[in-house]
Structure 1
Amino acid sequence: MRILTFVPDAEVKKLRTPIICLYKTDKFEIIALPLVQLDTVSAWKLVSHVLLLWLALCWLSTGTIYKIALVMTAPLKPKIGELIALLIGERSEAHPLEKHIALGTFCTWLHDPDDDEVLEHATIVSAANIFWRCKDVRADTIPLSKLQLARALADPPLATDFVSYFTTLQSSMDSLTNIVSFFMFCPDNVVPSLNKAFHFIEEGGFVDRSQSAEDQRELLKLRRRKSTLKALWKERAHTASFVWSANFTLPELFELAPDDADIFKITEKVLKRPERLRRYFETVQWCQHRLQNSLEPSARRKIIFHRLPETLPGLRPNIGKFDRDQLMIISSYRHK
């Protein structure tokens, strides 16, 4: 993959920066051309940029035809971006046990990525819980203030504990994983789409056929309808690759609720194998790229994908393929 940047790096890092990706269909070579922010550029001006770039590149390439796709990308929120840099070893700990606390915050972000108050609360609760469970002199250096603790106790942003909160979100996390799984497993001879994914899930495409007929019927009753899946995707598509990759490569990430009594033991287990943690983020990188390439343009334009560090290569996990019954469900889809 070859990346060409035609604006200063500062422009690239701006939130909601659009990236025009042009790639040769025969060589799959992608060229990313960051422009200025959409909110400061009128629609016609953006279109003129695209057309001019396309014409120039077609001329320079001596007649090679390019396919144009608009992909919205944005940097991770500063705190989450810093956490990922810490977890993959691109920066060192500012204080002992910072990685342990970061994992608790990241687990919360997987479940509830857009509420900054909840994320801040998760960091404080993770720090306090690890301080209590650690039984180690290192815990004395965790930077917890009385004000932070008082606010966490007297004015929490959640009406329940994190363990219970994550339990209520489990169905949504499973559905999000299923939507992404459809695109990851879809064979090359099938053109995937969100509507096909929703149809596949509605028809029980991910129900385990090895279970008894009665159990399958009960599971089918629990499946989510298209309207619910569409609403979930609209709200959470930007983090779907992170959720899917955790399910397939590092499911322990879902067990790191900030107030879980076992959080210190689980974080210790995860951090003792840093290569697994890095592979998780490499899988996210691969999953996100595949999703971008698989979604139809209209669906892709609605998602602001998170930009991960360029030092992370994409890593395809060892996943299977749809079986005959599942392929029959796909073939039963009829466009409405």
Structure 2
Amino acid sequence: MNVEDQEEREAQALGWDAIDEQLKGIYGDQEPKHYGTMIPYILGGPDPLDGISAYLRAEPVPHWHFVTYGFSELYEKESESVEESGYGFELTFRLRKLDDEDEPPAWALNLLQNMGRYVFGSGNTFKSGDYLDANGPIALEHDTRLTALAFIQDPELPEIQTPNGSVAFLQMVGITQNELEAMQAWNTVGVLAEALSSGLLPLYITDLFRSSLLDDAELAQKLRQGAEREGSSTGFLFVDQLGWEEKKGLFRGISYTLVIGAKQASVISQVLPGRALKERALRLSSRDTLVVLRQGDQPGVQQQESGIELVLSEEAIRELSTRLTPVAQEFKLSSFKDLTVKVVRTEIKDQQGRVVDTIG
């Protein structure tokens, strides 16, 4: 596609116009700060999103309201899906404004473009209820406890119908590690909804310098009750450090060892009861190992074509959940004496591969 074709294409921006019209319902004639791409992605540019707008909002606290343009089909219809426009969503992000800020921070724009690179590069999409562990601060060079992102429908922007199909507005929300674990133990929407109704997270605004929501004892209790009542919606966990070993002894038969990284130990301990005790399996997967945990009357191990199925009694599930902590250790379950659980240290590395932290 040459420059002339691109200009003609942009003149028929029916999808773009539909997004603008929706935003007028909130911001009227406010002119947002808009950040377009110098060279379109389709012409070899580095940024996959055609643009990002940032609206300034005073209530309920001063914040920037970012909206992307590019996950949906902004111009002519190209995808085969009749129902959805492009990937079927655009991202929004509400970020608390600092007192001395006149412009939206560049890191937030880069974060949204990085989300575009992830989606365009992998083909994986987001939906309300998803989460993403950043394995470090969501804003590099900032002292923040927010190390993950959750996704939920923007509370002020309902799904719209455009000439190219439907577009949902998914809001990214910065969350802490223990908030992520609470979402895994219950579900993302439930945790965020409770935080919103409690007044602790108005409009799901991301505040880099806030403390954890779980520091509020009343909210933490509500989240535990939700997990106990409904169980966990997390049926799959990707575990970097996961291993399974079998040894045949001359007199004692087969013994088993389950190896888990310390970083994932506390997550598994919280998710497992909400899955297995609700008669739902929990799948743990690394690049080369799959272990499925489920409840059964008799503890045992079943070899499956895809991996290992570890059957645990209710007693074993509760014991494992209690004893799994982010500390390097090795222990046997009293209700499954042939099984040893080994928790190994986890090294946290930065983008350059340097070890910046050790867990366990």
Q: TM-score range by the shorter chain?
A: under 0.3
Query: Which of 1 and 2 has greater Rg?
Result: 2
TM-score, L = length of structure 2: 0.24
TM-score, L = length of structure 1: 0.25
Question: Which protein has the bigger strand share?
Answer: 2
Higher RCO (Cα < 8 Å, 6 or more apart):
1
Question: Which protein has the bigger helix share?
Answer: 1
